[in-house]
Amino acid sequence: MARRLNGRSFSIHRAYTVSEIADKLQVHRQTVLRWIRAGELLPVDGSRPILVEGETLKAYLKARQPKRHKCAPDEWFCMKCRTPRKAAFGECEILTGNRASCNIRALCEDCATLMHKRFSLARLPALATAFTVSAPQHLKHLMDSIHPCLNVHYREDGKTCPNHPPSHRQKTPV
């Protein structure tokens, strides 16, 4: 995938040399010359040094940018399909957020890939009418699980190392 080239650093009222364009866009000089030879980027005239108007350059860079996909409120952008898709089974899950917005995730209806979207809390009731909205299943704390991890470092004499905090469980003799 091509890199997005930022044309906002160019003034429309100025002419730029090939080297200046290459430096600002962080591309090679030959890349800019290839654009000119292909007729995609038009120079001011045929003289040397080759100058390109800022307005022409900005228009060219804007035309090169891939078109953004606008998603409807009930759609997410699927990175695998590269198109806006609806949620599979009409379900989505609310993740953490702040006072104004939250993250919502859903599965793609075509490829079952996880899709994420930022959503306003004010518009959440409208989403709840279109989808089955659920809160995430929180993970249990390690201490509350049936088989907690017992990675405690013991010395030969059975005491814990001074660098590690004491365990809540005692080592049982075998």
The DSSP code sequence of the chain is -PPPP--TTS-TTSEEEHHHHHHHHT--HHHHHHHHHTTSS--SSSSSS-EEEHHHHHHHHHHHSPPPPPPPTTEEEETTTTEEEEBGGGEEEEEEE-SSEEEEEEEBTTT--EEEEEEEGGGHHHHHHHSEEE---PPPPGGGSSS------B-TTSPBPTTSPPPSSPPPP-
Dump pLDDT digits (tens) for 7-48: 889 999 999 999 999 999 999 999 999 999 999 999 999 889
Whether residues 51 and 82 share a domain: the answer is no
| Same domain membership, residue 128 and residue 102 | yes
Question: Do 83 and 124 belong together in one domain?
Answer: yes
Domain that residue 26 falls in: 15-64
For residue 8, being part of any structural domain is answered with no
Residue 123 belongs to a domain: yes
Give the confidence band of 138 by pLDDT, cuts at 50, 70, 90.
low
Report if residue 172 sits inside a domain.
no
| Number of domains the chain is built from | 2
For position 3, what pLDDT does the model report?
73
27 and 58 both lie in a single domain: yes
Q: Encode pLDDT of 82-95 as tens digits.
A: 899 999 998 888 88
The residue out of 27, 42, 64 marking a domain boundary is 64
